[in-house]
């Protein structure tokens, strides 16, 4: 029996550059891994199986773990394992839990089978599972381009302290992207492709999420959470991905902990996490 611990991510920037004929969007993002985890237990078995705790609202063949399993069989043969995923990362919150599970599962299987794939092949497999999966193969603060397949890790990145609030509702990623008005976002940004090192001041100036306006129109509480975090001393507050999670960046752990105590009084039904950057 083996346990692995896939971690969550936050989008510190999400810019929509263009919409492709396929329906996908070209993006420019800054993603960071954080210390919030799922727990995956893997055991040998007579055939492949997967179990989620708590159960998730997804057909078994549609999960990222199953998609990764199907794609990996081409390279490693049958994978006779029992896979149990204990969810610590909220689902439907824009924190990449399913993508992280798949990315860590892919890395584990290839290591166990002692198969080394070139980076291009590995990224192609990951991208077929999901747009965020290639990021988790690197699992470092990174600039993301294209539809998620171009991952450029930063050489230097600040360590950040986050307070994350997850409302008691989920937001459809497909709905959020389909409702973005591209003329408002297309080509309005300057590319940051050449930045390899970034400090906290530069990062704060770059932080924005092109999905926020769409989501806030339908879910105005997202705006209220951001205002609360700023009032509590956050340097910046933003929604991650298509939501529903909202985070604030604070000076240090003491500020995060103080804000967390107040958040628990105000947003009693929400999940609340204090986290830091991984890999910085």
In 3D space, the residue among 29, 125, 130, 120 whose CA is nearest the CA of residue 75 turns out to be: 125
> 9 an active-site residue?
yes
Q: What does DSSP assign to residue 268? A: T
Catalytic member of 101, 123, 132, 210: 132
Tally Cβ neighbours within 10 Å of residue 278: 18
Residues ≥6 apart with Cβ < 8 Å to 229 = 163, 165, 237, 246, 247, 248, 259
In 3D space, the residue among 250, 244, 249, 248 whose CA is nearest the CA of residue 270 turns out to be: 244
Q: Which residues of 136-174 are buried (b: 16+ CB within 10 A; e: fewer)?
A: bbbbbbbbbbbebbbbbebeebbebbbbbbbbeebbeee
Tally Cβ neighbours within 10 Å of residue 135: 27
The set of catalytic residues is: 9, 132
């Amino acid at each position: 029996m083996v346990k692995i611990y896939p971690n969550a991510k936050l989008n510190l920037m999400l810019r929509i550059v263009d919409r492709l004929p396929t329906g996908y969007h070209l993006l420019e993002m800054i993603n960071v891994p954080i210390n919030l985890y799922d727990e995956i237990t893997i055991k040998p078995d007579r055939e492949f199986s997967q179990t989620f705790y708590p159960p998730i609202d997804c057909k078994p063949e549609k999960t990222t773990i199953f998609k990764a399993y199907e794609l990996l069989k081409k390279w490693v043969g049958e994978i006779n394992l029992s896979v149990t995923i204990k969810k610590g990362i909220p689902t439907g919150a824009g924190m990449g839990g399913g993508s992280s599970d798949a990315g860590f599962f892919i890395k584990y299987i290839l290591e166990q089978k002692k198969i080394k794939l070139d980076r291009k092949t590995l990224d192609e497999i990951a991208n077929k599972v999901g747009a965020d999966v290639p990021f988790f193969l690197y699992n470092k603060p990174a600039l993301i381009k294209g539809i998620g397949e171009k991952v450029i890790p930063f050489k230097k990145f600040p360590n950040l302290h986050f307070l994350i609030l997850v409302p008691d509702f989920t937001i459809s990623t497909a709905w959020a992207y389909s409702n973005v008005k591209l003329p408002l976002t297309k080509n309005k940004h300057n590319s940051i492709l050449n930045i390899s090192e970034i400090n906290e001041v530069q990062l704060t100036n770059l932080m924005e999420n092109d999905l926020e306006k769409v989501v806030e129109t339908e879910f105005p509480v997202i705006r209220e959470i951001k205002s609360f975090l700023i009032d509590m001393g956050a340097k910046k507050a933003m929604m991650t991905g298509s939501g529903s999670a909202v985070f604030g960046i604070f000076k240090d752990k003491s500020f995060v902990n103080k804000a967390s105590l107040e958040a628990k009084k105000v947003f009693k039904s929400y999940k609340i996490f204090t986290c830091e950057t991984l890999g910085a």
